[in-house]
């Protein structure tokens, strides 16, 4: 008997998908429009000095160092690039920095990666729904998803690669192409160590529903990568392994589980606070809740969703941040699988209409685009301070060590040493956080300081005043101050 829409089983459909030129035109236009708009908006953000060392500067400095065959020690955070997260996927971008060593290139790549994620959405929909026009419509809905828009506008994060890679893995799954599936799983694991929460579960789904061998290999790869990353790579590079255990409440994972049994009311109350239920709703609603029609595939997103909801870290349960990446991909695919449970094409078309309407409305209501109810702030390219910032930046040699105002560092980070003032005179978010508030040895090696004195708070202004005797003022215009050390640096880091 054929499975009903309530079944956890996949649904087979022997109808052929008829090629549609209009559908493919819609697909191409939607993807191209998305890439153009979001590349333009993110470049606007950067050019208006609204990108920051955390996190954009981390990746821009890291890729520049790697492209110059230098050790990728990121002075914004005092850690090795891959000791922060095992984002080895970034190595594929190093050749780009040989040809175009620009922060703009990174932003264009990000927009292209997320825009082109619409292609596997189209392919999955064509495979499951047997209608290219429906696939094109779902691609448009996917690109309108407010979570996807915010992911793109949050400067740059390698997490964006998870979206197309997971979607392509699921497409290969539908085609029973297990070589392609496992290649995508392997590449996805290179994005970040925590993606195993998704790939491990997806492997189990494949093992139970499609191909036992391929699924178990995918889950095994996930477990092996997690063990390697957490117990070898990260400890080797930063000395302590993962730095995010503090984000689990009640003393860490063990304490959380213990509290869930001993005081479940406390845990339920915690999960109901600080935007957590609303965050979950914001991820479900743009797809009209239709991802719930494919519960087994939707459950692949439970790992990252639970990690975000449980976390004490504010950003993890806000739609505006990059922690949504794997959830966006899985929910998009689950929606298509859910709609495929409706056999009549008229019902499928109606369900797609619900998704398009939901995505369009939530894009306006919650999204960051210029047409949204509350669009993201893109910065002011005509700010009178920008000419002064640019003039001051030209005074700083490319090989000099600099401590700069945090909004300017990403324009100065193609160098070995760049710090967010007041670092290194007072450590903030530095290393493994054991030196917070301390003066670092690197303070004696800083050649230039570039800050906006009026924007500094009292403690930072006190630090600026205390180091002034060691420096000469070489620029002081338009609210921008540049200091140059007037004695030879004592040591090198």
How is the chain split into domains, by residue range? 21-243+274-366, 386-485
Residue for token pair 């192409």: 177
Name 312's Cβ contacts closer than 8 Å, sequence gap at least 6: 246, 247, 248, 249
Strands 79-80 and 73-74: what pairing? antiparallel
**H or E element at residue 46:** helix 21-47
Instruction: Give residue-wise pLDDT tens across range 413-443.
Output: 999 999 999 999 999 999 998 999 999 999 9
Residue ranges in the chain modelled with pLDDT below 50:
1-8, 489-493
pLDDT at 241: 83
Q: What integer pLDDT is reported at residue 29 of this predicted model?
A: 98
Backbone angles phi, psi at 85, to 5 degrees: -140, 150
What pLDDT does residue 267 have?
95
- CA-wise closest residue to 329 among 113, 43, 76: 113
Cβ-count burial 272-284 (b if 16+ within 10 Å, e if not): eeeebeebbebbb
What DSSP letter does each residue of 331-351 carry, written as one string? HHHHHHHHHTT--SHHHHHHH
Whole-number pLDDT of residue 1: 35
In this structure, the number of other CB atoms found within 10 A of the CB of residue 107 comes to 26
């Amino acid at each position: 008997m054929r499975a009903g829409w309530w079944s956890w089983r996949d649904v087979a459909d022997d109808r052929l998908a008829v090629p549609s030129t209009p559908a493919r035109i819609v697909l191409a236009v939607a993807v191209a429009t998305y890439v153009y708009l979001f590349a333009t908006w993110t470049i606007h953000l950067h050019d208006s000095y609204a990108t920051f060392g955390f996190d954009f500067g981390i990746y821009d400095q890291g890729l520049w160092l790697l492209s110059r065959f230098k050790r990728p020690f990121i002075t914004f955070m005092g850690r090795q690039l891959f000791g922060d997260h095992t984002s080895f996927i970034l190595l594929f971008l190093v050749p780009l920095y040989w040809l175009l060593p620009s922060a703009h290139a990174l932003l264009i790549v990000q927009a292209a990666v997320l825009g082109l994620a619409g292609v596997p959405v189209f392919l999955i929909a064509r495979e499951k729904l047997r209608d290219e026009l429906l696939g094109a419509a779902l691609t448009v809905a996917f690109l309108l998803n407010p979570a996807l828009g915010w992911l793109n506008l949050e400067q740059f994060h390698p997490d964006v690669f998870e979206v197309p890679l997971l979607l392509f893995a699921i497409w290969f799954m539908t085609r029973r192409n297990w070589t392609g599936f496992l290649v995508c799983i392997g590449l996805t694991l290179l994005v970040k160590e925590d993606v195993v929460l998704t790939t491990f579960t997806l492997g189990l789904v494949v093992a139970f529903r499609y191909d036992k061998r391929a699924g178990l290999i995918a889950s095994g790869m996930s477990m092996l990568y997690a063990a390697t990353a957490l117990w070898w790579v990260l400890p080797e590079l930063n000395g302590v392994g993962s730095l995010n255990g503090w984000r689990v409440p009640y003393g860490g994972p063990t304490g959380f589980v213990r509290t869930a049994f001993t005081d479940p009311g406390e845990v339920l109350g915690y999960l109901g606070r600080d935007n957590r239920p609303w965050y979950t709703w914001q991820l479900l609603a743009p797809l009209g809740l239709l991802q719930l029609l494919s519960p087994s595939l939707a459950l692949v997103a439970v790992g990252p969703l639970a990690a975000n909801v449980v976390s004490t870290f504010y950003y993890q349960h806000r739609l505006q941040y990059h922690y949504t990446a794997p959830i966006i991909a899985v929910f998009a695919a689950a929606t298509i699988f859910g709609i495929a449970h409706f056999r009549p094409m008229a019902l499928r078309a109606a369900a797609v209409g619900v998704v398009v309407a939901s995505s369009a409305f939530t894009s306006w209501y919650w999204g960051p685009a210029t047409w949204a109810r509350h669009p993201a702030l893109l910065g002011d390219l005509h700010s009178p301070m920008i000419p002064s910032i640019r003039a001051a930046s030209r005074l700083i040699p490319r090989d000099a060590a600099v401590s700069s105002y945090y909004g300017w560092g990403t324009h100065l980070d193609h160098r070995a040493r760049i710090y967010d003032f007041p670092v290194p005179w007072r450590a903030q978010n530095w290393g493994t956080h054991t030196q917070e508030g301390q003066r670092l040895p690197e303070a004696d090696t800083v050649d230039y300081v570039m800050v906006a004195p009026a924007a500094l708070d009292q403690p930072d202004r006190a630090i600026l005043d205390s180091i002034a005797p060691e420096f000469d003022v070489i620029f002081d215009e338009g609210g921008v101050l540049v200091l140059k050390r007037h004695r030879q640096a004592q040591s090198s880091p």
